[in-house]
Amino acid sequence: MAGTVIGEGLTIEGELTGDDEVVVHGTVRGTLTTTDALSVGSGGVVEADLTASSVTIAGQVTGNVAAQERVDIQAGGRLVGDVKSARFTIADGASFKGSVDMDV
Amino acid sequence: MAAASIIGQGTSVRGNLRGAGSIEIRGRVEGDVQVDGDVAIGEDGAVNGNVNGAQILVAGQVAGDLTGSEAVMLERGARVVGDLIAPRIGIAEGARVRGSVRTEGEPTAPRRAAVVPTRRGGEAFGVAKPKPAMPAPPKPAAPAPAPAKAAAPAPVAAPIAAADPPAGPPAPVVPALGKGVKGKKKAKR
């Protein structure tokens, strides 16, 4: 069970920070920072810069994504923004617009 | 029913939360919370802002007004600085409040109240509740097993209202005086 769940129908406007695992099924506008994993569900809408240990995107994200470990865009996921992470995957069926910095 | 949301213990939000469904706050929120479902603020939860919801259960800290369209329940250990507004309001022993209290609006019928917590226990707050923070499932909203007064009227959700009419006739306000006593007093004057 994730520590923090933004349920479907809930909207957060502002700054969300913490050290819990975060799952977004609702809407977040602002910034979202956690030291644990972050995932955006298929119904999730994020208009925020994301920072986490790992980021999994199955919904829509507009903003820059920085992850210490990895970033994965799953099929159906959509990301508009820059990615900074050592590992980065884009599944077949995902859409992505932005630049990638793998720290090479 | 929209999904339940959880603000985890290690999470803090600076900004407003609003929308559908229920929410459980175990972390910190600096901003207003406005949902059409229930709000539970765990004993480690803290909210600095106004809270609006259907039923609001507080075991943590709130600096702001609590407005429940159905009920506001403060549990043991709750600390609230702000006003409480709801048709049904319960303050358990051990809760601390500074603010005004208004019971206004149509109180939901007792049978209705009996239904609500069942629903909540079934889905929203019952989802992940390792802590005994909230009395989640069972209806008797008597929070902490407060002294007999609050606990006794189990079927009623608002301990306060139920505590008012104690069993038996009320104690006489003025002690009856015997004839002689009364006469003497008057005579002295």
ipTM for the complex shown: 0.89
Q: Which has the closest alpha carbon to A39: A2, A75, A13?
A: A2
Would you say residue B115 lies in a domain?
A: no
Residue B160 in any domain: the answer is no
Cβ of A28 under 8 Å from any chain B Cβ?
Answer: no
Residue B156 lies in a domain: no
> The whole model's pTM is what?
0.69
SS3 assignment for B57-78: EECCEEECCEEEEEEEEECCCC
B86 at the A interface (CB within 8 A)? Answer: no
Is B91 part of any domain?
yes
Of B12, B19, B127, the CB nearest to A10: B19
Within a domain: B68: yes
pLDDT along chain A (104 residues), means of 10: 86 95 96 96 96 97 96 96 96 96 86
* Residues in B touching A22 (Cβ below 8 Å): 8, 11
Nearest to B4 among A7, A12, A16 (CB): A7
The whole domain housing B72 covers 5-103
Domains: count for chain B: 1
**How far is the CA of B139 from the CAs of A41, A68, B37, B88, B120, in angstroms?**
33, 45, 17, 15, 10
Does residue B127 form part of some domain? no
- Cβ atoms B26, B43 nearer than 8 A: no
Give the count of beta carbons closer than 10 Å to the beta carbon of residue A17. 19
Residue B165 lies in a domain: no
Per residue of chain B (189 residues), give pLDDT as tens.
456 899 999 999 999 999 999 999 999 999 999 999 999 999 999 999 999 999 999 999 999 999 999 999 999 999 999 999 999 999 999 999 999 999 987 776 543 333 233 333 333 343 333 444 444 444 444 444 444 444 444 444 444 444 455 566 666 666 666 666 555 555 555
Residue B45 lies in a domain: yes
